[in-house]
Structure 1
Amino acid sequence: MEIRKPNDAEYKKILSLSPQALFEGTLGEVKLSDEKAKQLIEALLQKGSDYLIATEGDHLMGWILIGTKKDQLTETIYGFIYELFVLEEFRGNGISKRLLEAGIEHLKREGYSEVRLSVYAGNQAMKLYEKLGFKHRTITMSMNIPRS
């Protein structure tokens, strides 16, 4: 398995699969159109975010989208993992872990001393994040308000 930046064809495949990745990552709560997903991703890429992909031969197996964010309270800039996705047929082979490690190492080389990510409660990936050393930092809570 190789982890590297995508070429143009691989980038187009990622764009086509991003709505599915977001849908799965949000446990079915967010369903974006292809166009809206493309707009969100292109905005991140224009701000300096990068994809790293896992491939085997010509097969795209998964990707991680990394970049930066600014803490609203302290204005500290930190590394951020925006997206992690492994295609279903390649899951269970440690690809997510390898992509996370590569993404974290990339951010470390860029000079960041902290990496954050957001994850939906109940997402299976939380176990992996915790195993790699991620800790709960903030918790966003929500409640549905019944209509009268």
Structure 2
Amino acid sequence: MEIRKPNDSEYKKILSLAPQALFDGTLGEANPSDEKVKQLVEPLLKKGSYYLIATEGNNLMGWILIGTSKDQFTEKICGFIYELYVLDEFRGNGISKQLMETGIDHFKQDGYSEVRLSVYAGNQANKLYEKLGFKNRTITMSMTI
């Protein structure tokens, strides 16, 4: 397996699969259109965020979207993981962990001392994040009325 930045055709494939990734990541709460995905991703890419992909041969197995975020209270800039996704047929092989570790290494090389991410409660990825050392920092709560 190789982890690297995508070429143009791989980037287009990511964008075509991103609505499913967001649907899965939000546990079915969000079902974005292709256009909505572009509206979410393009500003991040323009600000320096980038994808890293996991491939084997010509097979795209998964990706991570990494960039930065500013803490709204302290103004501190930290690394931020915007998206992590592994295609169904490649799950259970440690690809998510390898993508996360590579992304974290990129942040370390760029001098960041903290990495953050957001994840839905109940998402299976929570277990991986905890194993990697992530801790709850804030909790967003909701109530249906």
* TM-score, with length taken from structure 2: 0.99
Query: 1:122 is paired with a residue of what secondary structure?
Result: coil
RMSD of equivalent CA atoms: 0.4
Amino acid at match of 2:28: G
Separation in structure 2 between the aligned mates of residue 48 and residue 135 of structure 1, nearest angstrom: 26
Shift of 1:51: 0.3
2:126 aligned with 1:126, yes or no? Answer: yes
1:91 is aligned to 91
Query: 2:103 is paired with a residue of what secondary structure?
Result: helix
Structure 2: 5+ residue runs without aligned partners? Answer: none
Separation in structure 2 between the aligned mates of residue 107 and residue 52 of structure 1, nearest angstrom: 12
Where does structure 1 differ by over 3 angstroms across 4 or more consecutive aligned residues?
Answer: none
Query: 2:133 is paired with a residue of what secondary structure?
Result: coil
1:66 is aligned to 66
Separation in structure 1 between the aligned mates of residue 38 and residue 62 of structure 2, nearest angstrom: 17
Structure 1: 5+ residue runs without aligned partners? Answer: none
Separation in structure 2 between the aligned mates of residue 23 and residue 111 of structure 1, nearest angstrom: 32
Query: 1:135 is paired with a residue of what secondary structure?
Result: coil
Structure number with greater Rg is 1
In percent, how many aligned pairs have the same letter? 80
2:45 is aligned to 45
1:25 is aligned to 25
* TM-score, with length taken from structure 1: 0.97
Amino acid at match of 1:31: N
Separation in structure 2 between the aligned mates of residue 77 and residue 26 of structure 1, nearest angstrom: 25
1:7-40 CA distance string (max 9 Å, x none): 0000000000001000000000011110110121
Query: 2:122 is paired with a residue of what secondary structure?
Result: coil
